[in-house]
Amino acid sequence: MLQVKNIDFSYHTSPVLQNISFQVNKGEHVSLIGASGCGKSTLLQLIYGLHHTDGRIYWNDIELLGPNFNLVPGEDFIKYLAQDFDLMPPLSVADNVGKYLSNMYPKKKKQRIQELLEVVEMHDLAGVKAKNLSGGQQQRVALARALAKQPELLLLDEPFSHIDHFRKNNLRRRVYKYLKEQNITCITATHDSTDALSFADKSIIMKNGKIHAQGKPKDIYTMPPNKYVASLFGDINEITINKLIEGEKSKKRVLLYPHEINAVENSEISVKVLQSFFTGKEFLIKADLKGTEILFEHKTDLKKTETVFVEIPKQLILSRLKKK
Ligand SMILES: Nc1ncnc2c1ncn2[C@@H]1O[C@H](COP(=O)(O)OP(=O)(O)OP(=O)(O)O)[C@@H](O)[C@H]1O
């Protein structure tokens, strides 16, 4: 189990991380999410041992000590995959992956490299020099190299950021499945809501260097505590309830995802279409609701200035308000 206790950190004078404490169980996958600059990478680097902190970090019973105590940062059982991939350009893909593997058993080493290249779908390019790879291919090789020595704890910083959409979904399903099968504990810092929602047992949400919320991804998504959290998962509407419920005087605000607002034939709520965006699966409609711009999903395109009726389940509004 990883235990992080009371971490504070600054690069210069202003605090970058403040009073961070959390724990991660063996084999658990955690997504670390938050706005750019909130301190996600710095936190991963601290756990890996690249910075000094007065707080405490333990992996099981071992205290992880920072650079003031370790000449070479990092422990053998932790791997950190940074945003820069740090590959050896003149070496082949296979040699980069096998760089830290022992040469004592060449057959075993070869098999291990092949297994890892299959996980990241790079086996066809095993002989290609790293300098001739695209950014996304380099990222996949770096991921395979991070896995090579079977870490107990894996820290991934935006691990799929350079990988095209076409390949990303399949790749991350393979990688996280492999990590679960091997019982590897993993923390992924990410901006991608799919990484955060689909592949994590727990999400930790950071804001301005602090832990802002944490919990199961589904719970956080369905009951976001505020707009900051909800907006990390995509577009979000914040609407006062007097605009949603006839006769309601309250100006309390409710958060609604675009897919939770349904266009219907007739209802108490009419909106005027402002703009329509094709999203592939359907259209995202921007509309005016009594002076508030809202976004909702619709199967077909809608014309600008068209009046449309929309409906939101009252139960949903009430449950979101209750949460606040
Ligand atoms: N080496 C450094 N020296 C000084 N300040 C730094 C350094 N690295 C990061 N910072 C600052 O620390 C803060 C946190 O940065 P960090 O990279 O940890 O955030 P992040 O949440 O990972 O951002 P992103 O999502 O954009 O990668 C930012 O204000 C950043 O400018």
142 close to 158: Cβ distance less than 8 angstroms = no
Q: Could you tell me the sign of the dihedral formed by the alpha carbons of 211, 4, 192, 199, in that order?
A: negative
Chain segment 285-298, per-residue pLDDT in tens: 999 999 999 999 99
* Cβ of 203 below 6 Å from ligand 1: no
86, pLDDT greater than 90: no
Rounded Cα–Cα distance for residues 274 and 313 (Å):
23
Average pLDDT for residues 68-81, to the nearest whole number? 83
Ligand 1 centroid distance, CA of 229 (Å): 20
Ligand 1, atom 5, residue with closest C-alpha: 11
**Nearest CA residue ID for atom 25, ligand 1:** 36
Ligand 1 centroid distance, CA of 304 (Å):
42
Structure tokens at 115: 């297994």
What is the spatial distance between Cα 177 and Cα 198, in angstroms, rounded to a whole number?
12
HSE of 67 in the Cβ direction (CA atoms, 13 Å)?
6
Residue nearest to atom 24 of ligand 1 (CA): 36
Confidence of residue 324 (pLDDT cuts 50, 70, 90): low
pLDDT in tens, 232-285: 999 999 999 999 988 888 889 999 999 999 999 999 899 999 999 999 989 999
User: Which of 42, 162, 206 has the most ligand 1 atoms within 8 A of CB, as the residue to mutate?
Assistant: 42
ipTM field? 0.98
Three-point CA angle 215, 217, 222, nearest 5°: 100
DSSP-assigned letters across all residues of 148-175: HT--SEEEEESTTTTS-HHHHHHHHHHH
- The mean per-residue pLDDT over the stretch 115-132 comes to 95
Q: How many whole angstroms separate alpha carbon 217 and alpha carbon 197?
A: 5
210-236, pLDDT tens digit by residue?
Answer: 999 999 999 999 999 999 999 999 999
Please indicate, yes or no, whether the overall pTM of this predicted structure exceeds 0.90.
yes
Given a contact cutoff of 8 angstroms between Cβ atoms, the answer to whether 214 and 205 are in contact is yes
Would you state the pLDDT for residue 100? 83
Rounded CA gap, 192 and 176, in Å? 15
Enter the DSSP assignment of 31: E
Over 90: is that where the pLDDT of 166 sits?
Answer: no
Contact 240, 253 (CB under 8 A): yes
The first and second tokens of residue 164, run together, are 């095209």
217 CB neighbour count, 10 Å cutoff: 21
* Rounded percentage of the chain residues whose pLDDT exceeds 90: 81
